Amino acid sequence: MSAKLSVIFYIILCLEIGIVLTLLPWIPQGTLGLSDWGNNYFLLYAARKTGLHALQTVVASGWMRGAVSGVGILNIGIAFWEIFHFRQTVRTLEQSTDVQNGAKKDVAPVTNASKARRATNATASTSVSHHARPDDRPDNAGN
């Protein structure tokens, strides 16, 4: 159940962010009590404090508005992809949590006897580094 809720909340979050980022740069001044995208208080404050007065011009440009709207459309696309693949995503989340929970349950406590057994097995086996396999050839082509 928690996997389903997680996917649902993720879809809602992607849709909200997508809608806001797609529409906010293009909303005219005074609509919904919002100021103009390129003439808002925080942007003016940041431009004055940093001394980068061109920051306001760059943010107000159509290129920046289009880039922000593009990120919003991308978020909406992700939300719709998740909607169409809902069952697959939930199944994947459930399997990953089962594997993590199973790995925690299957771990045996380390005892002195198991440490000694590992030490004798390590000395009895051939000396191979952790990254190389005994059947590995230098050309890795299997020849």
Neighbours of 14 (CB within 10 A): 20
- What is the pLDDT at residue 112? 58
- What is the pLDDT at residue 28? 80
The residue with tokens 């997680």 is 6
- What is the pLDDT at residue 97? 75
- What is the pLDDT at residue 55? 86
| DSSP 8-state assignment for residue 143 | -
Cβ atoms of residues 3 and 90 within 8 Å? yes
| DSSP 8-state assignment for residue 139 | T
- What is the pLDDT at residue 125? 52
Where along the chain do its domains lie? 2-102
- What is the pLDDT at residue 27? 84
- What is the pLDDT at residue 1? 80
Cβ atoms of residues 56 and 38 within 8 Å? yes
- What is the pLDDT at residue 39? 78
| Ranges under pLDDT 70 in the chain | 33, 100, 102-143
